[in-house]
Amino acid sequence: MNVLKNKIKAEGVVLSETVLKVDSFLNHQVDPELMMEIGKEFAHRFKEEGITKILTIESSGIAPGVMAALYLNVPLVFARKKKSLTLTEGVLTSKVYSFTKQEENTISISREYIQKNDRVLLIDDFLANGQAALGLIDLVKQAEAVVAGIGIVIEKSFQNGGKIVRDTGYRVESLAEIESLENGEVQFKEEEAT
Ligand code: 5GP
């Protein structure tokens, strides 16, 4: 998705060989027009999948997720990372280890919002080691719903999450695939092939 790649090139900050900072449009400040284009693109790619719900994780998955939900005309559910005072009964939980933050989070959703047989599109901002996506898959399975696909805004292809998640057999669509962050530069996958 060129508009996204151009934004990453212009505003992305390479923090290390493994971490990209995109606080100016996705992880802190949010660019609503770009989120709209991202939502439209996810909706286009998954329009034949009979999606009935979108599931993401707070907080950075919410902006792209809600736009995809708007264009697919379905609700968005976001898994919570912190214990909620109001989320007390019928809660499904899964543990997610973040290599980036080196911490484990328990993510949770209410059973009420993902029903048996829902066809769920999972959305997240980054795919790195795949643990967040696996946690979301686990929640959908516990709800006896169906994972209909996984939409990722930025995939870091040099980390192993893409393989781990694709090996589960689910369709993964990434809007920007980063092959390398070496030498302080963002190298996209397609650029290498040309
Ligand atoms: P995974 O579970 O695939 O290892 O990591 C996914 C989560 O870690 C994403 O939801 C994102 O919040 C965070 N993350 C992983 N790598 C990066 C990165 O390079 N930049 C930013 N901003 N977040 C990342």
Q: Is the CB of 161 under 6 A from ligand 1?
A: yes
The residue contributing the CA closest to ligand 1 atom 16 is 128
Residue 194 has pLDDT above 90, yes or no: no
Q: Which long-range contacts (CB under 8 A, 24 or more apart) does 49-52 make?
A: 49/119, 49/121, 49/148, 49/149, 49/171, 50/119, 50/148, 51/119, 51/120, 51/121, 51/148, 51/149, 52/118, 52/119, 52/120
Indicate the burial class of 82 (C-beta count within 10 angstroms; 0-12, 13-18, 19 or more): exposed
More confident: 89 or 148: 148
> Is the separation of the CB atoms in 1 and 176 below 8 Å?
yes
Short-list 95, 97, 165, CA closest to 127: 165
The residue contributing the CA closest to ligand 1 atom 13 is 126
- Per-residue pLDDT, 193: 47
Q: Is the CB of 128 under 6 A from ligand 1?
A: yes
- ipTM beyond 0.90? yes
The residue contributing the CA closest to ligand 1 atom 19 is 19
Give the E-state strand segments of the chain in sequence order.
Answer: 13-14, 20-21, 53-57, 76-79, 91-98, 103-110, 119-127, 146-156, 172-180, 187-188
Q: Is the CB of 129 under 6 A from ligand 1?
A: yes
Residue-wise pLDDT for 60-82, tens only, equals 999 999 999 999 999 999 999 98
Q: What residues contact residue 54 under an 8 Å CB cut-off, 6+ apart? A: 65, 68, 69, 72, 74, 75, 76, 77, 120, 121, 122, 123
The residue contributing the CA closest to ligand 1 atom 4 is 129
Ligand 1 center from residue 58 Cα (angstroms): 12
This prediction has a pTM of 0.95
More confident: 100 or 129: 129
DSSP secondary structure string for all residues of 69-100: HHHHT--EEEEBSS--SS--SSEEEEEEEETT
- Per-residue pLDDT, 191: 59
Ligand 1 center from residue 126 Cα (angstroms): 5
Atom of ligand 1 nearest to the CA of 96: 2
Q: Is the CB of 12 under 6 A from ligand 1?
A: no
- Per-residue pLDDT, 180: 98
Ligand 1 center from residue 95 Cα (angstroms): 15
Region of residue 143 (phi > 0: left; psi between -120 and 50: alpha; otherwise: beta): alpha
